[in-house]
Structure 1
Amino acid sequence: MKAGLALPLLRGLSALSLSGAPLAAGALPARGTPFDEQTVPALARRLAAAAYQPPVTALTPSLQRISYDQYRDIRFDPRKAIWRDTPLPFQLQFFHRGFLFKERVDIALVADGIATPLVYSPSQFSFGAAPVPSDQDVGYAGMRIHAPINRPDYFDEICTFLGASYFRAVAKGQNYGLSARGLALKTGDPGPEEFPVFKQFWVEQPGKDASAITVHALLDSPSAAAAMRFVISPGDETVFDTQMRLYPRVDLDRAGIAPLTSMYEFDAGDRIGVDDYRPAVHDSDGLAMLNGRGEQIWRPLRNPAQLQVSAFEDANPKGFGLMQRKRAYAEFADIEANYQRRPSLWVEPVGDWGKGAVTLVEIPTGDEYHDNIVAFWRPAQPLRAGSEHRFDYRLHWCTEHAWQPELATVVMTRIGAAPQPGTRLIVIDLAGGRLSRLNADARVDADVWASSGSIANAVAHANPQTGGWRISFELTPQHGKDVELHARAHDDRGPLSETWLYRWTP
């Protein structure tokens, strides 16, 4: 079935558990019940057909008031990990509720077609300076999955699900960086954003020779419910094969599908007012796109003075992602954060997603501790209430991702003052592809365009210091106007580089 296809929503379902006993919508039964691929979509349809019920957030006063440091002291005991004493290639650990993570998340294991709820116990955790809860039914805030990804005798943490509908993962040799989400609603809008939450998870027990683990998630919010299924394959590139079945309670005209969330503070082309010894600080440095026409696009990220939203219209996109292209320690010089090890995250739609726009939201930030970059797919047509909307895609947590190997990629954007007053000099460094195989005296043209103002002295030339090529040009903007910029290298055979896009602001 095609992604994005809308189907009639089945209404009138009674609030029954899978075994037929009365049960509040979305609640976990007290004992094991049958489970198959239609279980979570059925629960999501039931939720969407009923009035929204906020997640359980009540905690004992001692947990309600704990600080960040106290919450960090609460650690799951790895000796209690699920499947620890088995030959299975995956293990599960859990996060405690408290601090910012007050919502209760129910978790069940699925084996032989039966889902069995996991039972919380304080004995599963060490608490350090944090208070030990007297309540034996506190429940969990989220979970993390471990597998031997870097060496065969150690179970590394490969992904986490914690907070609202956020989750993140790593591939071999990486540190955590950007996050994904189940659904974004009203992101970048003037009003408040709505944050859907994962309220339940079901984890299928893997076989002893399995290379992937399957997680089902039930998502809920005032505007929509959804069923999601992730088949997680860790390795040199960690892949989430994702299915989403979305059931709006209201018409959604501002939905964000496959949302990604990252941090960008500064880099060489964006250092105005920066007083920092490091040359760059970011989890991602650009938005990459491969549109439905096969054009490969790179949009460098910015830390803008004011909130900035960009929409790149497309039909049936082949992919988009927030990428970290810098991979050398010297490019960050941070021995603690190790930004050079942060993953890139590429979204590969499966099936046709129709018309819409890859949307980029850039939010001003003064530090590296708060995510300020969001990217997602926004369908052109509203997602109607009373229907099922399907979106299937793959998430690639990776170091690099090659889309069209014959095209050079942008490795650096630099902007500074030109000799003429009021004019900016823009320099774009390129590497790889067919361009790297050309002689230094080859004829390469710079295709440069601006939405306003004027362009002068646009040239492309070889860079003997790097073995790559460089495009440079001068921009004289119109007073007070933003300028949308476009550049790429080409010869008589066609494009030699991906398309560089940039929004210059006064």
Structure 2
Amino acid sequence: MSKQFSRREVLAGGLAAGALAFLPGLAAAATDPRARFGSAKPFSFDALKARAEALAAKPYEGPEIRAGDVLETVDFDAHQQIRFRDEATMWGEAGNEPGVRFFHLGRYFKAPVKIHAVEKGEARELLYSPDYFDMPADHAARDLPEDIGFAGFRVMAPGGKTDWLAVLGASYFRTSGPLDQYGLSARGIAIDTAASKPEEFPRFTEFWLERDGAGGLIAYALLDGPSLSGAYRIVSNAPNTGIVQDVDCALFTRTAIEKLGVAPLTSMFWYSETNREDAKDWRPEVHDSDGLAIWTGSGERIWRPLDNPSRVVTNAFLDTNPRGFGLMQRDRDFDNYQDDGVFYEKRASVWVEPIGTWGEGSVQLVEIPTDDEIHDNIVAFWVPRAPVEAGQSFDFAYRLHWVADQPYPAPVARIVATRIGMGGIPGQPRPPGVRKFAIDLEGPAFEGLDRSSGVEVVIDASRGSVSNEVAYPVVGTDRWRVLFDLEATGHDPVNLRMFVRLDDKALSETWIYQFFPTALA
């Protein structure tokens, strides 16, 4: 699996917007967290990096889990009964500063994290107290030690009714995006995802939080796991201008790592119009993201529709100094989801913009089979080409754009739908082993063009044969459609690559798809 817990377990921890409600009108006895700080200590990002480097030179020690038997009883329902007292919100008194609230430990988040507040180069630890939380008198969490600690934190929108940033579990974090609806997650690092050995989940063990003076938040974090340690600086701007996060990280390896996944994104894809025949649910589509977009170092724009394969599949897109990649939710039409509870059409897309040169490597996409929407089964990240050995250090900087669409639009047409069905010609006998692909595109590159303009479809298939390819405008819309038949059999996948051109000029993104003939047999 790509995670240690399912989507439903994540929701149990409160990553979903509004997952932890707040009780109005709490008594004045609610604790003010500003009275519960430890002593001040000097703090800087350079010092944090030095600490991470020193930590990596020592054998790994996992987190201490205290009162694990009690925490095991704090399941989804019990965790939902624990309410953070809104009067105890750290900061947020002024309209232009973030208010921070904290998550309680539970079955799915047993390892506590330390949280510090930073001001003028000094840090004070926020000391846990059960007084921060309200819960029923007979709640199991009342049997926990008085210093059990926090599970994570979230940053509230002005007014304190909803949150726009949540950090909880391993090294996961996410924002509500421009449409105020949580979906996919980012995380600090991915270690050996879909590799020959079990995946590791290093965790953020400590946080240092600092106000930026403009409504945003600077979060420093110490990362630790069996194979490496790291120091992170994540600058999250205020959501009223669109959520962008600048990430700087310094990594120090303890052991050799088979696959180092930088800037990892984790999402969910069950089915869309592409694999609708696999659906067991009444809704037309169910997914947080519907495709992987890549802007290569050479300038090519790539669109790879997501799939829900029958086995774990990894695809690597080789590149040098990529300009960006991301998991996108392009379909924004409610009619294509019909879910007025979780609003998949509002789920954020996330675009990773490398800062500086990342050298040679690959954007890798991992797709894991799922039979429900509760599992995050899609992972995308950058993997450096060079082997990662023990005792090495790495520095990466990148910008995360939480957006409705790609932040740097391409001048070419983009792919908006991929459909697969029976091949051949309607009204005539359908040839066995032949599938028809229908790919819809839209964009200004097609303006002024029609069927007689000489628009050409360029297709490459790794095996099998392609026929009946054509591109034409869809009547009554601003879209164009590409149709072609693929004849291929067997269990091995067929790697397809297609784009549309006029003369020598590309009019569209490059569409890439991995098709399994037996999936539609």
Q: Which TM-score applies when normalising by structure 2?
A: 0.88
CA 1:273–1:387: 2 relative to 1, 3 Å: closer
Bigger drift between 153-162 and 183-192 goes to 153-162
Aligned-residue offset at 1:274: 2.0
Could you list the per-position Cα deviations for residues 432-467 of structure 1 after superposition, in whole angstroms to 9, with x for gaps in the alignment? Answer: 131245345422111111010000011111112322
Give the aligned partner of residue 193 of structure 1.
Answer: 199
The 3-state SS of whatever aligns with 2:90 is: coil
Q: Distance in 1 between matches of 2:95 and 2:493?
A: 59
Identity %: 42
Deviation at 1:402, TM superposition (A): 4.5
**Do the aligned partners of 2:192 and 2:257 also contact (CA within 8 Å) in 1?**
no
Identify unmatched segments of 5+ residues in structure 2.
Answer: 1-36, 424-429
1:8-47 superposed matches below 5 A: 30-47=38-55
Match of 2:146 in 1: 136
1:192 alignment partner, SS class: coil
The corresponding residue for 2:372 is 367
SS of the aligned residue for 1:140 comes to coil
Query: Which whole-Å deviations, capped at 9, do the CAs of 1:152-190 have from their partners, x for residues lacking one?
Result: x55631111100011111223321000011011110124
* 1:3-152 correspondence to structure 2 within 5 Å: 30-59=38-67, 61-128=69-136, 130-131=139-140, 132-148=142-158
Counterpart for residue 314 of structure 2:
309
The residue that corresponds to 1:157 in the other structure is 163
Contact 2:154–2:164 under 8 Å retained in 1: yes
Whole-angstrom CA distance in 2 between matches of 1:81 and 1:117: 15
Stretch of structure 1 that moved more, 50-59 or 268-277:
268-277
What does the per-residue CA deviation read over 1:91-142, in whole Å, with 9 as the maximum and x for residues that have no partner? 1000011111001100000001100000111111112363224521011010
| Cα distance between partner residues in 2 of 1:134 and 1:390 | 39
Deviation at 1:405, TM superposition (A): 3.2
Aligned to 1:22: none
Encode CA deviations 1:314-367: one digit per residue, 9 max, x unaligned.
111111110000111101001111000100011000011111111111000000
**Alpha-carbon distance in 2 for matches of 1:402, 1:257:** 20
Unaligned runs of 5+ in 1: 1-28
Residue of structure 1 equivalent to 2:479 = 468
Structure 1 residues 445 and 338: alpha-carbon distance in aligned structure 2, compared to 1, 3 A threshold? same
1:483 to 2:494 alignment: yes
Q: Which stretch shows the higher mean deviation, 468-477 or 87-96?
A: 87-96
Aligned runs of 1:298-337 on 2, under 5 Å?
A: 298-337=303-342
Question: Alpha carbons of 1:276 and 1:485: their partners in 2 closer, same or farther (altered >3 Å)?
Answer: same
Q: How far apart, in 2, do the equivalents of 1:155 and 1:268 lie?
A: 35
Query: Per the alignment, do residues 275 and 37 of structure 1 end up closer, same or farther by CA in structure 2, a change over 3 Å counting?
Result: closer
SS in 2 for 1:235: helix
409-418 or 190-199: which moved more?
190-199
Shift of 1:237: 2.7
The offset of 1:493, in angstroms, is: 4.9
Task: Give the alignment of 1:199-278 within 5 angstroms.
Answer: 199-207=205-213, 210-233=214-237, 234-278=239-283
Distance 2:241 2:447 in 1: 26
SS in 1 for 2:276: coil
The equivalent of 2:5 in structure 1 is: none
Q: Compute the displacement of 1:400 (Å).
A: 0.9
| Equivalent residues of 1:88, 1:206 under 8 A apart | no
d(CA) in 2 for partners of 1:280 and 1:462? 25
How far, CA to CA, are the matches of 2:416 and 2:278 in structure 1?
Answer: 23
Looking at structure 2, the residues matched to 63 and 414 of structure 1 have their Cα atoms a distance apart, in angstroms, of 46
Maintained 8 Å contact 1:383/1:389:
no
Look up the equivalent residue of 1:260 and give its one-letter code: L
**Residue in structure 1 matching 2:404, options 399, 418, 421:** 399
Task: Tell me if the contact between 2:91 and 2:98 (Cα under 8 Å) persists in the aligned partners.
Answer: yes
State the match for 2:442 in structure 1: 431
- Partner AA of 1:467 in structure 2: D
Q: Which moved more, 1:456-465 or 1:365-374?
A: 456-465
CA contact (8 A) 2:70 2:144 kept: no
**Most deviating of 49-58 and 124-133:** 124-133
Task: Give the CA RMSD over aligned residues.
Answer: 1.7
Alpha-carbon distance in 1 for matches of 2:447, 2:334:
24
**Equivalent in the alignment of 2:384:** 379
Distance 1:87 1:47 in 2: 39
Does the 8 Å contact 1:433/1:497 carry over to 2? no
Correspondences of 1:271-290 after superposition (within 5 Å): 271-290=276-295
Distance of 1:250 and 1:380 partners within structure 2: 17
Displacement of 1:37 in angstroms is 2.4
Residue 478 of structure 1 and its aligned partner are, at CA, apart by 4.1
Q: Give the residue type in structure 1 aligned to 2:223.
A: L
Structure with greater helix share of residues: 2
Measured against aligned partners, the alpha-carbon deviations of 1:267-305 in whole angstroms (never above 9, x if no partner) come to 111123423221100000000000111100000000101
Structure 2 matches for 1:325-364, cutoff 5 A? Answer: 325-364=330-369
| Farther off after superposition, 425-434 or 474-483 | 474-483
Task: Give the TM-score of the pair, scaled to structure 1.
Answer: 0.90
Q: 1:176 to 1:301 in 2, by over 3 A?
A: same
Aligned residues of 1:108 and 1:118 also touching (Cα < 8 A): yes
Aligned to 2:456: 445
Find the counterpart in structure 1 of residue 297 from structure 2.
292
Cα pair 1:296 1:403 within 8 Å, conserved: no
Deviations 1:23-43 (A, max 9, x none): xxxxxx952101122121111
